[in-house]
């Protein structure tokens, strides 16, 4: 496995963030609003969210992104992260980028007094389930639901 490079994104990386988030939305078969996605990616850079980009070291293109939001958790009784997005371009999967992104978040959380991390994974995504379990996450007996307010 090749070494992985991670970085906190800058404004110059916004197009890469948009490209990766767009890939995730396409996979979820969700509508994509390019302008709103650009604004969201830019806002993430100045928010309290944890955002990192990753790539296999010998490539020039960012191939993965993690977005985790800070919140006060009732489950963990204190500050926690919710991993909203962990996406690695399909052509770069199984190269260690996803593992490194989650590992960096775990290290950051531990060093900064966070009590836990929550996430969701697609039900039949065995590689994701293996990754999370190998890093100490455990499966909860829940389903996640969402609604877009404009659809109500």
CB atoms within 10 A of CB 96: 18
Model's pTM, two decimal places? 0.87
Residue 37: C-alpha distances to residues 99, 115, 121 (Å): 25, 30, 22
b/e sequence 7-45, b meaning 16+ C-beta within 10 Å: eebeeebbebbbbbbeebbeeeeeeeeeeebeebbeebe
pLDDT of residue 137: 86
Q: Where are the domains of the chain?
A: 4-9+48-138
pLDDT digits (tens, 9 = 90+) for 41-63: 999 999 989 999 999 877 788 99
Query: In this structure, are strands 4-7 and 64-73 parallel, antiparallel, or unpaired?
Result: unpaired
pLDDT of residue 106: 93
Give the separation between CA 82 and CA 90, rounded to whole angstroms. 23
CATH number for the domain whose boundaries are 4-9+48-138: 3.40.630.30
């Amino acid at each position: 496995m090749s070494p992985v490079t991670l970085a906190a994104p800058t404004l110059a990386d916004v197009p890469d963030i948009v490209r990766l988030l767009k890939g995730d939305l396409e996979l979820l078969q969700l509508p994509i609003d390019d302008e709103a996605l650009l604004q969201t990616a830019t806002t993430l850079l100045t928010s309290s969210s944890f955002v990192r980009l990753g790539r296999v070291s010998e490539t020039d293109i960012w191939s993965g992104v993690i977005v985790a939001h800070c919140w006060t958790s009732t489950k963990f009784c204190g500050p926690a992260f919710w991993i909203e997005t962990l996406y690695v371009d399909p052509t770069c999967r199984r190269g260690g980028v996803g593992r490194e992104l989650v590992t960096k978040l775990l290290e950051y959380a531990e060093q900064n007094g966070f009590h836990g991390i929550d996430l969701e994974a697609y039900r039949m995504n065995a590689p994701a389930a293996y990754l999370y379990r190998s890093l100490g996450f455990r499966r909860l007996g829940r389903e996640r639901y969402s609604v877009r307010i404009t659809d109500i």
